[in-house]
Structure 1
Amino acid sequence: MREALHVIDNEITSLPDSATREEIDNFKKLAEKGLFQCPYCKAKLIIKYGEERGQYFSHQHSEACEVSKKIDQAEKRYRKQLVRETTNHHAMLAILHDELANQAKINSMIQLDYGYKAKPELKEYPDIWMKIGEKEYGLSIVTSVTSAVDSKLAGQITKRQRYFLEHGMEPIWFIEKEEQSIEISKNALVLWDAELSISSKTDEDKKWDAMLTELVKDKDFFAYFNYPVSMDSPTVDVRSMYYIYSNEDRTVVKVMRFLKDGEVKPYRAFLLNEGYEIPFADALVVKNEILLSQPKVEEENRKEFIKKFQRLRIQFHEQRRMLEEQRRLEAQKREQLMKEKIELEQERKKLLLQQMLEQKQQASNHAARNISYGELKTLLRERIHLTQKEQMELWTRFMPQLGLGNSSSVSDEEVFVMKKIDLDFFEE
């Protein structure tokens, strides 16, 4: 095991994950002088070192007590559970444990331990087990989420979360801030499957639910924020996410609240605000529960959200009115241009028709003055359908009565043609 009871200070001492040869020898010498004992059976502990396990506490003659054996087995299972985590996990876990341990010293209601030590009989463990009064919590940190492991990790987290609840613990999850990704222009938070799985539902989230239930009845609610909502009638379900990271010389938690939207990957959620940072110690303030928020800040954020909603609604409808007016003017302009185009086309057609009539008249006059004998025969026979007898009758009976001199439309050539027709008739 990696922890022992310091017999002088009466507190738990943990061995570091890595140490130099000199540091290992020093720990061994301290153990030889009887400084460490088993927290469970109070037997003297020594320190051993192996290439695979590193340094660890051991009972003398390897005669471990039953409780320590059980804890050792639980620790091995827990370390397998941590294989996928980054080195940041260990550092953040140490900070988380120290902050809670400080509060436990001044609050007798708080009981605190590492998950595998508090619940060695379990098959999976939270990083830290905590009990406040009669309520138990399982706190865990998630690092290094990638597309390759996301779905599998989400499944593991969902299973683990259900498992913790079945064993009487309320799960609380923290995630590395490196995983946070925001579409600023669309007021959206894009989530890993794993992130969505570890999101929490707190009392503050329920207060946001109550406020938003009325606001989202406005059919243009999401349009005001330029958010492309995926569901026709989204259910108001505000969730919270806790990102943990170092900011300059302190570790902070960033509280992000979002409105869950859609069940299709990649997951996108409506971001309620930019979130806010709180020092790690303040995030873990314990009264009768772990707060993980600052109620005054939350109340102010809700008021600011309503103001922003009202401002964006006015801007949206004003822009819509201006756009509709612009469209109306453009339609009016197009209609006027079309009317002018039609009038111009009608005038052009009228002019063209006039030109065609004039050309036709000129062509007709020209044809009347220059018609040939063959064309006249065709005219009378094929187009007017006069038989040769009828043609003869035309020239012998009617034309003498009319008189060639009385018709201005009959030319000298036509007289010749008529005589020619007459000759043809007698020849036939």
Structure 2
Amino acid sequence: MFHAIYEGKLFNIEEQILNCSDRKQEVANLKKRADKGAYVCPHCGASLIVKAGDVRGVFFAHSSGDACALKESYDTYKKQTARESKQHSVMREIVHEVLKNQEKIRNDLQVDFGYIAKAKERWSYFPDIVLKNQEQELAISILTNVDRTKDSKLTKQIKKRNTYFKEKGLQTLWFIEDQELSLDWDNHVIHLWESEIDLSVKTKEDSNWDKLIQGLNEDLPTILDTLGYWRKNKEITLDTRSLYYIYSTNEGIDFSVHRFIIDEIQFPHRAFALTRGYRMNISTALAFNEKLALSDPGQETNEMDQFYNKYIKRKEEEASKKTQLAKSQLEYTSSIFTSRSTDNHHTGDKSTISISKSEVASSLNSPYPAQTSKKMNYTDLKNNLREKFGMTQKEQLRLWNIYVLKRGIKDFDLLWLVAQQLDNFDQFEKALNEYNK
């Protein structure tokens, strides 16, 4: 085990070794004190010895045949956390210290390492820290050292632990090492491990984000398209979730919160990032007042304002593009019909020209042509253009890569309206180029 009572206080042998300048000499000092009975078990009060090895490191142990429930719980916990990075123990100690300091001024708060708090109950799994407030208990755990080969197995382990803790009556909260964070803010995407999806939580702040998005009076896919997010799924359920990351710094630990809407639950896992995320000092994040803070109200308001303003600006830009496209296409289509009128004048055929010009004028006169109840998506447009123009694969790739992705022309209803007035893909592409001048 890593903890013992020394000089009336809880002593962590890992932290002591990490902070010493001469490891070999420090281990010798620890062993000498232990031989003289300086360290005792926090649970049973028995004297502890110090052991050191290349595999298990430096730790406290009971003398042979003198084991107690705490040793058993420690051994279980040690096996459970063997996969974690070296930073895990540092983060655990700092989180414990921040919470323990609040315990000193709050009689209703009790904080312990999980394997100590639940030693007598001989649990199968232990959280890193147990926080108890009156009759409510919270299991706090820290996740580090994830990669693709470990992720699937780890997700199953996390599910078992969370289920086990909940069956024991505890709520669960996970912090994730910042090295696992993969955010591409330019594209509003956060790439996730499967285990991260499983550890995401729903908070009061997340529900407030749901209300903000509902107040935009647009369906969620349209909102995501407007903000330039590439959706893998046609339909996405509005359900804002949160993840909490912790960062080791020279001064201690920082904390950040990230809010997102899950898009893909199969590998590769991804989500729409609502926020860039903001960092907080760990003491602020773990301030306890009936519950842990885990957020900054001022920052939350600022994040929501930024999201709302960005969305409104994109909508205005989109409306402006619609107006420009409609105007440009009306001018271009009129020039086509002027040319056709000249040609048909020699054949004496005027009725067709008159009808076509009338249809074009009525459909393109408004900068916002009437929409159907169901908005057209790119697949619908692609299929329609293939049927009308015989659009080739090469032309389809140009349409997608140049005009939709690069130039951001995504009003597919309007594009189809324009296409209906033309005869071939070359005319259609010319109209798109005129629009982007």
C-alpha displacement of 1:176: 1.8
Shift of 1:278: 0.3
What's 1:330 paired with? Answer: 332
Is the aligned partner of 1:246 residue 2:248? yes
Residues 226 and 12 of structure 1, relative CA distance in 2, 3 Å threshold: same
Displacement of 1:88: 1.8
Distance 1:59 1:21 in 2: 22
State how far apart, in whole Å, the 2-side matches of 1:249 and 1:127 are.
22
Task: Please state how far the C-alpha of 1:31 moved relative to its aligned partner.
Answer: 2.5
Percent of aligned positions that are identical: 33
Give the AA of the match of 2:3: E
Partner of 2:10: 12
Equivalent pair of 1:230/1:262 in contact (CA under 8 Å)? yes
CA distance in 2, matches of 1:80, 1:183: 35
Superposed CA RMSD:
2.6
Describe the shift of the 1:48–1:256 C-alpha distance in structure 2 as closer, same or farther (beyond 3 A). closer
Once the two structures are TM-superposed, the CA of residue 282 in structure 1 deviates from its matched residue by 0.8
Q: 1:191–1:267: 8 Å Cα contact kept in structure 2?
A: yes
The alignment of Structure 1 onto Structure 2 pairs a total of residues equal to 340
Distance 1:193 1:48 in 2: 38
Larger Rg: 1
Q: Which deviates the most, 25-34 or 212-221?
A: 212-221
Q: 1:44 aligns with which of 37, 47, 50?
A: 47
CA deviations 1:316-354 (Å, max 9, x no partner) are 2112222232233333334444555677999xxxxxxxx
TM value normalised by structure 1:
0.72
Checking the alignment, whether the CA contact within 8 Å between 1:133 and 1:288 is kept in structure 2 is: no
Q: Is the 8 A contact 2:182 2:191 kept in 1?
A: yes
| Alignment-derived partner of residue 383 in structure 2 | none
Q: CA deviation at 1:145?
A: 1.9
Instruction: Find the aligned partners of 2:185 and 2:329 in 1 and give their Cα distance.
Output: 29
Alignment of 1:393-412 (within 5 A): none
Q: In 2, distance between residues paired with 1:330 and 1:79?
A: 73
1:20 Cα offset (Å):
2.8
Secondary structure of the residue aligned to 2:291 is: coil
The ranges of structure 1 where at least 4 consecutive aligned residues each deviate by more than 6 angstroms after the TM superposition are 341-346
Structure 1 position 304 matched with structure 2 position 302: no
Contact conserved, 2:176 with 2:245, CA < 8 A, in 1? yes
Residues 158, 322 of structure 1: alpha-carbon distance in 2 compared, 3 angstrom cutoff? farther
The one-letter code sitting in structure 2 at the alignment partner of 1:93 is R
Asked if 1 retains the 8 angstrom alpha-carbon contact of 2:152 and 2:195, the reply is yes
In the TM superposition, what whole-angstrom CA distance separates every residue of 1:263-303 from its partner, at most 9, and x where no partner exists? Answer: 33322222112111001111111111112111232133223
2-structure distance, mates of 1:262, 1:316: 27
Correspondence for 1:30: 33
Supply the distance in 2 between the matched residues of 1:308 and 1:51 (Cα, whole angstroms).
54
Deviation at 1:204, TM superposition (A): 1.1
Q: What does residue 182 of structure 2 align with?
A: 181
Question: Following TM superposition, by how much is the alpha carbon of 1:206 offset from its aligned partner in structure 2, in angstroms?
Answer: 1.5
Q: 1:320 to 1:122 in 2, by over 3 A?
A: farther
- Cα 1:39–1:185 change in 2 (3 A) is closer
After superposition, the C-alpha distances for 1:18-71 in whole angstroms (9 at most, x for unaligned) are 5733212211222244322222332333334455544433445x3425xx3x22
Give the deviation of 1:247 after TM superposition.
4.6
Counterpart in 2 of 1:111? 110
* Alignment-mate amino acid for residue 305 of structure 1: F
Q: Does residue 90 of structure 1 match 2:89? A: yes
Once the two structures are superposed, residues 171-220 of structure 1 have per-residue CA deviations (whole angstroms, 9 ceiling, x without a partner) of 11111222222333332222121111111111111221222223253473
**3-state SS in 1 of match to 2:292:** coil
- Distance in 1 separating the partners of 2:46 and 2:186: 63
Which of 234, 237, 240 pairs up with 1:235? Answer: 237
Distance of aligned partners of 1:56 and 1:263 in 2 relative to their CA distance in 1, 3 Å threshold: closer
Tell me the distance in 1 between the aligned counterparts of 2:206 and 2:328. 42
